[in-house]
């Protein structure tokens, strides 16, 4: 078997593994309004108890916001490195009192966009927070489909030659500046991230701690993904790919660091052979971590490590559902955006935490 064929088979193996475990809410190629938790359930969707009709399928985030009874505000955020991203706001209405509400920005994980916070109808976190009186803003990262570039089209490879470091350094602050400007509530914004969205929040808050405190009241991390510890099946898949591609996965370094370009390029970029670290000890904001014991991407020990390294005096971490050890109810990685029982097992406790982050007098 040729080297190229072996390499392709390895990549296909990893891809199929990810497809099997990834909720279908992460994809946008549904042909109908059916929603199922996994791709393999679509052939039996007609009688599967796990599939249901979701009118939000095939809709854009603004359409979902309007379909659920709210007006949508759309704002263009221009980052210093040339990317223009759209962010959406669940606009306050005359009769809901949210014009004085505390701003919350929701930042999504990998393979999805802001629809992750709206696709479950009135059970979606965006609308739960709106009903609770918050001024809700939805971020879109630069690979979300809601982004353009001043020079490059999305078909140009240079559009994609960007890193999470760039998003944290340019995009996150641009979003926060926009929200602060529109609401005049700098210092009271709550940042809620899921998965990759948590990483971006911690990158930003550790790299620019003074600026973060200027804009943010606190950070809430759902499935915090700073340090990864994959389940056994995923480890096998990635090790096979690593052997064939002759490249050690970056997550195996055990370091919260900037992108590794290789020693020669690192010297040019950073002035040192190894990528610089992000120091969580610089994070002085209140931080609350929510994780799940069934998360295939991380374990309690990695979440605990993140918690211990954070420099804030006001911090807590919880396993969801809080105070409930029933194995059947423990959250997985994407349950934080798609669990059938998300209202009773997550939102209730999340809202209690948010009450602790009321604006300072």
Residue 56: its pLDDT value, please? 76
Within a domain: 361 = no
Residue 18: its pLDDT value, please? 53
Within a domain: 239 = no
The per-residue pLDDT of the chain, averaged, comes to 87
Same structural domain for residues 37 and 69? no
Cα(270)–Cα(274) distance, rounded to whole angstroms? 8
Same structural domain for residues 211 and 67? yes
Mean pLDDT of 352-361: 91
Same structural domain for residues 65 and 34? no
Domain that holds residue 159: 59-231+248-355
Residue 164: its pLDDT value, please? 96
Residue 44: its pLDDT value, please? 73
Cα(228)–Cα(332) distance, rounded to whole angstroms? 14
Residue 126: its pLDDT value, please? 97
Give the lowest-confidence range in 219-233, 265-279, 308-322, 338-352.
219-233
Q: What is the pLDDT of residues 87-113, one digit of tens each?
A: 999 998 877 878 889 999 999 999 899
Q: What is the pLDDT of residues 321-350, one digit of tens each?
A: 999 999 999 999 999 999 989 999 999 999
Final residue in a domain of this structure, among 58, 78, 106 = 58
Cα(171)–Cα(177) distance, rounded to whole angstroms? 10
Distances (CA, A) of 230 to 54, 167, 299: 31, 24, 8
Same structural domain for residues 197 and 51? no
Same structural domain for residues 288 and 259? yes
Share of the chain above pLDDT 90, in %: 69
Q: What is the pLDDT of residues 21-31, one digit of tens each?
A: 554 444 433 34
Within a domain: 139 = yes
CATH number of 214's domain: 3.40.50.1820
Give the count of domains, the chain: 2
Residue 292: its pLDDT value, please? 96
Residue 233: its pLDDT value, please? 61
Residue ranges of alpha helices (H) inside the chain are 3-21, 61-67, 125-131, 164-166, 172-183, 196-207, 209-215, 232-245, 263-270, 300-309, 335-338, 342, 348-355
Same structural domain for residues 33 and 115? no
Residue 238: its pLDDT value, please? 64
Q: What is the pLDDT of residues 37-55, one digit of tens each?
A: 677 677 777 767 777 767 7
Within a domain: 330 = yes
183 touches 135 (CB < 8 A): yes
**Quick one: pLDDT band at residue 179, thresholds 50, 70, 90?**
very high
Q: Which of 353, 331, 66, 312 is nearest to 202 (CA)?
A: 312
Same structural domain for residues 22 and 67? no
């Amino acid at each position: 078997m040729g080297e190229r064929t072996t390499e392709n088979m390895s990549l296909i193996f990893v891809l199929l593994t990810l497809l099997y475990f990834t909720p279908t809410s992460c994809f946008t190629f549904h042909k109908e309004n059916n929603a199922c938790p996994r791709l393999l359930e679509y052939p039996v969707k007609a009688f599967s108890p796990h599939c249901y009709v979701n009118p939000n399928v095939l809709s854009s985030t603004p359409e979902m916001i309007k379909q659920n009874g709210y007006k949508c505000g759309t704002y263009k955020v221009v980052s210093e490195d040339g990317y223009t991203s759209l962010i959406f706001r669940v606009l306050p209405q005359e009769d809901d009192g949210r014009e004085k509400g505390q701003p919350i920005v929701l930042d999504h994980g990998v393979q999805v966009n802001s629809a992750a916070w709206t696709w479950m109808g009135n059970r979606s976190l965006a609308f739960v927070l709106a009903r609770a009186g918050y001024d809700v803003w939805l971020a879109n990262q630069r690979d979300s489909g809601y982004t353009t570039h001043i020079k490059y089209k999305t078909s140009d490879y240079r559009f994609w030659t960007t890193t999470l470091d760039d998003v944290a350094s340019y995009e996150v602050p641009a979003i926060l500046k926009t929200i602060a400007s529109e609401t005049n509530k700098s210092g009271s914004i709550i940042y809620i991230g899921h998965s990759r969205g948590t990483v971006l929040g911690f990158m930003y808050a550790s790299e620019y701690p003074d600026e973060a405190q200027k804009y943010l009241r606190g950070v809430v991390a759902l499935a915090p993904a700073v340090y990864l510890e994959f389940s056994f099946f995923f480890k096998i898949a990635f090790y096979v790919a690593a052997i064939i591609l002759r490249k050690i996965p970056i997550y195996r370094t055990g370091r919260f660091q900037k992108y590794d370009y290789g020693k020669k390029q690192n010297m040019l970029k950073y002035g040192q052979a190894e990528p610089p670290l992000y120091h969580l000890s610089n994070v002085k904001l209140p931080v609350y971590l929510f994780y799940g014991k069934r998360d295939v991407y991380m374990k309690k020990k990695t979440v605990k490590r993140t918690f211990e390294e954070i420099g804030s005096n006001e911090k807590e971490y919880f396993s969801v559902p809080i105070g409930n050890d029933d194995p059947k109810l423990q959250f997985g990685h994407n349950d934080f955006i798609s669990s059938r029982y998300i209202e009773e097992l997550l939102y209730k406790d999340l809202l209690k935490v948010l009450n602790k982050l009321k604006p300072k007098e």
